[in-house]
Amino acid sequence: MNIQTERIFCAEQIQVPLELPEILKAFTKECIRAQPENLVEFAANYFAQMAENVAGEGNLAIEQFTSLRRKACISLNYPFFLIFEEIDNTNIYSLPRQTVTETAMAVGFGDPTIEGIFNLGKFDDPIDWREFLVLAISLAAENLLAAFEFIFMTFATQEDPSLDTQQFLQYASYLTTRDPSKPPDFIEQMRNALQTENGGAFSTKITFEDFAGLAIAEKLR
């Protein structure tokens, strides 16, 4: 296989393979665990072993293919999230601005993009890295509903595609409070819509499909 080195000049040229995010997610975990001195050699061995394991297994089952397709978000966000989790071993979700900058650059974000996110977020130092990541996710979304789907793709897992409802509302607020087309009480409207859908009770867990089925989701398209 010849490695193509031609530059990509426009978004239309970018075709992300459906399996890429899951493959990168697993590979990034192995890199973080192994801390290889020679990353290229490590990658060659890792993918050679993967190829051996896949050989003879046949095509993906429909369920596997569907799961991969649902997770075909921007591939940078997976290693970004995993690295943040590894760095933030205290689980206080707060990191120095310099650490956030270095992490973003390490996964391929350029200086203008990083500065744009900082300017949008008007962050203090230290930074809630979850808020930074949510704003980064939103850059790839055509509307708020797509950004909410990317939130689930990034913060939930394949085994459990749901998020804590309060946590989801917090992530969503990072975006709605910065959208001038949304009223200040929009998150409260979302909360009320969720309760109404659940017969007045407040469900502790939610999936993107649950939210997308609500009438209020149409206001995000």
In-domain check, residue 119: no
Is the predicted pLDDT of residue 4 greater than 50, yes or no? no
Closest CA to 163 of 178, 148, 145: 148
- Classify residue 174: in a domain, yes or no: yes
221 belongs to a structural domain: yes
Terminal alpha carbon distance of the chain: 41
Q: Apex CA 220: angle with CA 180 and CA 128, to 5°?
A: 65
Looking at the structure of the chain, the number of domains it has is 1
Structure tokens belonging to residue 209 = 């499909």
Query: Which stretch of 29-38, 109-118, 142-151 has the lowest confidence by average pLDDT?
Result: 29-38
Residue 196 lies in a domain: yes
Per-residue buried b or exposed e for 93-132, using 16+ beta carbons within 10 Å of the residue's own CB? eebeeeebbebbeebebeeeebeebbeebebeeebbbbbb
Residue 22 located in a structural domain: no
Q: What is the average per-residue pLDDT within 26-33?
A: 76
Does residue 171 carry a pLDDT above 90? yes
Mean pLDDT on 96-117: 85
In-domain check, residue 175: yes
Q: Which residues pair with 128 in a beta bridge?
A: 94
Query: Which range marks the domain in which residue 207 is found?
Result: 143-221
Radius of gyration for the alpha carbons in the chain, expressed in angstroms and rounded:
19
The answer to whether position 205 is within a domain reads: yes
- Long-range contacts of range 3-11, CB-CB < 8 Å, 24 or more positions apart? none
In a domain, 191, yes or no: yes
